[in-house]
Structure 1
Amino acid sequence: MRSIKFSITLLVFLIILSVLGFAFFWSLDSSQLLITKMVIATVFIFFFLYLLKYINKTNRDLYKFLESIRYLDNVSTGNTADLSFDQLNITYNKITNQLKKAWLAKEHEHQYFQYTLENISVGIISFDDSGNIEILNKAAKFILGINKLRNIKELNTDTVFVGDQIKDLKPEESKLIRLNTDIDQLKILVKLTNLKIGNNTVKLVTLQDIKTQLEQSELDAWQKLIKVLTHEIMNSVTPVKSLTYSMQKVLQSDDTEETKNKNLLKGLAAIEKRSKGLLEFVESYKNLTQIRKPSYQRVILQNLLNTIGNLFKEEFKNLEIQFDIEIVPNDLSVIADDKLITQVIINLIQNSIKALHESSEKKIRMRAHLSNNNKVMLSVSDNGDGIDSEIIDKIFVPFFSTRESGSGIGLSFARQAMVMHNGTIDVRSQKGEGAEFILTF
């Protein structure tokens, strides 16, 4: 091992220097050994300088090694064949090779991140607490119609303060922002997330131009609504038209006046009944479009669900329905309008009761819990008939109902109420396997 050789060499040098030093001091006692003194001094200096060079060479090799570790971005295996220690030479090459692989992996990851950032269709902006821009990808420039951005407040104009709206967003909050351009008005969905990087907080904002999707969704909703409205109106108008034609025939008949009057009164009564039905339909539509603005407060779900359960206690008993409430944790709460949410849950329970009319073992369950992303989820489920997959996309359309006596308002009202709470209502169901309606706050 060269490390042993180094130790022996160092020891030999020290012995030689000690002997030379002793000989030099011994020669000082004699005034006749001038040449000997000079030779001893010269040899001593030579060996001393050589020893320094020998030690400094090892120090330089160690310095190069440590500098390579320090500057990971520029690490290089280099030529290490002249290192003083074989073991250090082997370890050095292993570590530098590993560091080089780590550096290359880091570079590939950075390039992949940059490519993804610049080519995704979602706009991304990141800025610090002062609003100074750190990241602005290509999609964000395209959506906002800009080439560069130094501070988020530069997005403010005299009439629209887009920059302030973005900066004032709360973490995980989404907001629809309207942005006027030279040729169009954009509808941009903006969401902000806080990232903790070391001791600094960076705000990451995503931008999505959803105008086309919104317009398509609005068009689909209108088409579904028009179909339902047309169906309901035609159900009322068609009989009236038929009755009018029949009444004309009565007037043209040869029946007695008394018979004609009786038939006309019957026809008019039927027309009046259909007219009242049409007026009630229009009134229900009016009520559906005029839901009052929510009055928000903290609602303890344990209290809310127990109160609703007590409202149906007798009905559940008479219909032999097993009813369960599960809340995790027990003190779970939401910021909501308790009256609106109560009405939504009552509508869902009433739908479940009707869906259980043919079930032998009837069950309704209300459950509230926190999702993985800390959203409050409240569900009402039953083991009734379930919902056919062909109509499950239509059940939230106003006035759509599969029951003859159904108004088709309850679920549409529920969706509007949840939208007003910045929440959602979803359904999971298969025909014959029950249904579960999920409110997400």
Structure 2
Amino acid sequence: MKREGITYGPVAGYTALLAAASAALGWVVTGKWYPVAILLVPVIGFAGFRLVRLYSDSIRRVTFMFNAIDNDDFTFRFHEDPRKVDNGMLNAALNRIKEIMVRAKMRAEEKERYYQLIMECARTGLITINDAGSVYQANGEALRIFGLPRMTHIQQLEPVAPEAYRVLTTIRPGEKHPVSCVNETGEMHLSLGCSAIRLEDRQLRVVVVSDINSELSEMQIESWSKLTRILTHEIMNSLAPITSLSDTLLHIDRTMNADVAHGLDTISATSRRLMAFVENFRRFTKIPAPQKEPFEIRELLGQASALIATENIGVRVEVEPADTMIYADRTLVGQVLVNLLKNAREAVGTRREACIEVRSYIDPQENVVVEISNNGGAIPAEVTENIFTPFFTTKPDGSGIGLSVSRRIMQLHNGSLRLTANTDSRVTFTLVFG
């Protein structure tokens, strides 16, 4: 029904019909024209029935939309038929509501992904739990600290870190507790702090887990770097003239007293040993910035293994997936691998059943992990405490910088190097490329 360019739908038509029939019925009844009144009653009933049906159909569509949204289903769309004015207008309105909800959902998902990325990029462990101990979220650093592939309840920590488990059950917002955990690599010192948050009518606790050992390690390396830069400068300035003068006097064309010659020779040899030691200092402090490029880890592992393999000692290499790529400095990472493999070869020595294994895989946080293992026997506890300390060595001719330089190289790659297994049957060093 149209009038002066305005389109009216069924609702308006049936409403007008119901109003007109009701008015006519009143006028007829007033005039006592009862036979005519009997004819108007079906018209009023028909108009009322159609209005109720249209109303019910609208309610049904609105209910369907809210049920779909409540079930997170946004695939529906109502047909917008321009010939059916009331249906078309309602359907268009419902479709618009759906589009607004879809945009709001997409914005919420983008924010969630953003916050998830922030959590995963954090160098600190983050665990979100409720009062019952259920874990809603745990980032990769928290899983790495506790050595778990995933965490759904804090009770999973009881066997691996009982003290941390007890603190997590009682810690309250604003509190901070130091925690010690013992694992295969020795004692690990943690700091646990807690904050409160309310999310979807649920009261949650966000626990921050800081690996104090890791923080101290970085501070120690920085302190050693500053110290060695000063020492190398001062020692080299003092050694250079001593070495030069002693060599000059030793090769002078003049007969020399035997004791004097022996003394000069001792001075020269000692100064050269000191200079070699200083060179090790320089190697520790002058690690170049990584020149990163993408390459397959299998190729580098194969090259490093070939360098240390002997007739009696083979290296078994396993890479899964076979085409694993890393983005790193090939030369520096190769130096780390060769150093660890040389240590493994020295550890197994001449054992009859010597075994060196190299395994590469991708962990749940999508980090590339390389494990280098040997069966050369457990490293003594007093040694494991200092193996990453610069210039600490148990070898008569060792410099003591191999593992410390290797760890520093991994840190420059935003990765880590840790002793993750230390038993008589298996010693494993693990590299994680973040």
Query: Scaled by the length of structure 2, what TM-score is found?
Result: 0.45
Q: Which has the larger radius of gyration?
A: 1
Query: Scaled by the length of structure 1, what TM-score is found?
Result: 0.45
Q: Which has the higher contact order (CA 8 A, sep 6+)?
A: 2
